[in-house]
Structure 1
Amino acid sequence: MRMTSMVAGLAVAGVCVAGPALAVDATQVTRKFSASNENLAPGLDVGVGFGGYTGKLGNETGVGGLFNITANAQPWEYIGLEFGYEGQNIPIDDARVLGGNHIWRNNGSGLAKLGPFIDNKWHPFVGAGFGLSFLHASQGSRPIYGNDWQVEWPLAAGIEYRMGHLSAGVRGTYRLVGGEDLTTIPGTTDEAKGSLFNGNLTVGGRF
């Protein structure tokens, strides 16, 4: 009985000592993952990168450079929104077409991002959204390639670093593509289909 009472007393004492310590740790964790007013402010990013199509469509095209400009909003601490334009020049690497031809991709997309702010500096995130692209094939690729509207569902992952009102980041975006009617698989009448994978660096500001 005496041993049981002693153990119970030590347990109660341990809880009393550990309770404030756990509370401090919880407070520190909350502060570590909280966002400042600067992080929640809307902003504007510009970016550059490269990428290209996958699948059968990727077999006939190459890797091309891109640029984008994006407006950002952070209506909730862990959920952000962005809307922007992306332009990309994708070279055509197809034996049916003379060299030097390309596809100019004009895209407008919206993306919802989910991720915490860490130490008010780091912002890792994942995102999903919807976009629409107009693909303009160069004149020298006709009639093998044609202009086309393309629906896209972007899935993104990346990380941003905040320096006060300034930010810099890196991300990769995999876009599921629908409605391809750009070209056919060589030797067939089947449409060449594929997804789109791009990577880019961004810099911007929060106001």
Structure 2
Amino acid sequence: MRRTSMVAGLVVAGTCVAGPALAVDASEVSRKLSFSEEDSTAGLDVGVGLGGFTGDLGDETGVGGLFNITANAQPWKYIGVEVGYEGQNIPIDDARVLGGNHIWRNNGTFMGKLGPVVDHKWHPFVGAGFGLSFLHASSGSAPIYGNDWQTELPLAAGIEYRLGHLSAGVRATYRLVGSEDLTTIPGTTEEAKGNLFNGNLTVGGRF
């Protein structure tokens, strides 16, 4: 009974001591997550990166460089939006095609982003949206590869750092691809399928 009373006393004492500390921590977290007009910004980013197809398409293509330009806004506390263009040059690595051929991907995407602005500087986020790409295969890859439109459902995760009116960030984007009719799996008449995985760095301004 005495041991039980001692444990109970220690729990009560610990709670009394920890209570103010927890209150301070909660207050500090609330301060860092507070939203102000300073955070409700619009901006423009440019980015570069690398990526390529997965699945059957990834077996016949390589990793290609990309660049993008994106307009964005953070009109609500946890929700932002962006719209942008992305260009990518994906090399073809297919025994049926001579070396040096590639696929140009021209993409437009609208995305919603979810995440807090921490301490008016850090902005971790996840995003989802819709995109449409035109794939243009170089003439030397015909007739094995053709041109095609494809729909994309991008899922992104990243973090941005804001310093005054400047911003820098890193993100990874996995795009679920539909309606591709680019090429066939070697030795078959079945369409080669695959999704896209890209990573990129961005720099820009906030106004």
TM-score normalised by the chain length of structure 2: 0.89
* Alignment correspondent of 1:4: none
SS at match of 2:190: coil
- Written as runs of structure 1 = structure 2, the 5 A alignment for 1:8-87 is 23-87=23-87
* Alignment correspondent of 2:115: 115
Q: Distance in 2 between matches of 1:34 and 1:28?
A: 10
Runs of 4 or more off by more than 4 Å in structure 1?
17-24
Stretch deviating more after TM superposition (174-183 or 37-46): 37-46
SS at match of 1:193: coil
CA contact (8 A) 1:38 1:206 kept: no
* Alignment correspondent of 2:5: none
Gapped regions of structure 1 (runs ≥ 5): 1-6
In the TM superposition, residue 90 of structure 1 has moved relative to its aligned partner by: 0.3
Amino acid at match of 1:108: G
SS at match of 2:31: helix
SS at match of 2:135: strand
In the TM superposition, residue 21 of structure 1 has moved relative to its aligned partner by: 5.8
* Alignment correspondent of 1:165: 165
Q: Distance in 2 between matches of 1:104 and 1:35?
A: 41
Amino acid at match of 2:124: P
Q: Distance in 1 between matches of 2:77 and 2:70?
A: 19
In the TM superposition, residue 18 of structure 1 has moved relative to its aligned partner by: 7.4
In the TM superposition, residue 27 of structure 1 has moved relative to its aligned partner by: 2.7
* Alignment correspondent of 1:3: none
CA contact (8 A) 1:38 1:164 kept: no
In the TM superposition, residue 191 of structure 1 has moved relative to its aligned partner by: 0.2
SS at match of 2:38: helix
* Alignment correspondent of 1:206: 206
* Alignment correspondent of 1:149: 149
In the TM superposition, residue 153 of structure 1 has moved relative to its aligned partner by: 0.3
SS at match of 2:28: helix
CA contact (8 A) 1:39 1:206 kept: no
After superposition, the C-alpha distances for 1:137-182 in whole angstroms (9 at most, x for unaligned) are 0010111000000000000001111101111000000000000100
Q: Distance in 2 between matches of 1:113 and 1:183?
A: 33
SS at match of 1:26: helix
After superposition, the C-alpha distances for 1:84-133 in whole angstroms (9 at most, x for unaligned) are 00000000000111111000000000111111112221111111111000
CA contact (8 A) 1:73 1:81 kept: yes
In the TM superposition, residue 20 of structure 1 has moved relative to its aligned partner by: 6.4
The question of 1:92 aligning with 2:116 is answered: no
In the TM superposition, residue 23 of structure 1 has moved relative to its aligned partner by: 4.7
Q: CA RMSD in A?
A: 2.1
Q: Distance in 2 between matches of 1:23 and 1:48?
A: 43
Q: Distance in 2 between matches of 1:41 and 1:139?
A: 44
Q: Distance in 2 between matches of 1:142 and 1:184?
A: 12
Gapped regions of structure 2 (runs ≥ 5): 1-7
Amino acid at match of 1:169: G
In the TM superposition, residue 75 of structure 1 has moved relative to its aligned partner by: 1.5
* Alignment correspondent of 1:188: 188
Q: Distance in 2 between matches of 1:132 and 1:182?
A: 15
SS at match of 2:30: helix
